[in-house]
Amino acid sequence: MYIYIILALAMVALDQISKILITSNLKLYEIREFIPNFLSLTYIRNEGAAFGMLKGARVFFIILTVLVIAALIAYIKKSRPSSKLEMLSLSFIAGGAIGNFIDRVLFGYVRDFIMTDFMDFPVFNIADCFVCIGAGLYILYALSDFFPKKEKGGST
């Protein structure tokens, strides 16, 4: 169980370090090509949620994040998940949520900086990646019940 807490905290640290590096090296709205025609780095301030929706709803997002983290902790304590995949997915979601939560509390906005050059997509950050990876892993975990399990050592 502690390994998943450490993992979530490492994700928070990685997210915050990446944001510090970006804000220390780029001016607001400055764009630097990172991988030509694929990814650029730009520093923007997102006052909303995913894709800038609900701009200016800082208090709502702070309360929502506290409730989500509390619900995750309550769920883990009550159900005691035995699946490593489920715990891994929850760690990713918590790590990403906390990373963006810190930004909202300290700055009133989330620091975003990853821009896709190959398609029109909103600018995002490492914490957003963690939340999406966690959600994807959780979907895989949830779907795993629908796939037949191989039995070990069975006879034919």
Q: Give the active site residues.
A: 112, 128
H/E stretch holding 42: strand 39-46
Q: Which amino acid appears at position 29 of this protein?
A: Y
In whole angstroms, give the CA distance from residue 76 to residue 9. Answer: 16
In the numeric block, which tokens belong to residue 27? Answer: 């001016």
Please, which residues have CB within 8 angstroms of residue 66's CB and are 6 or more apart in sequence?
A: 101
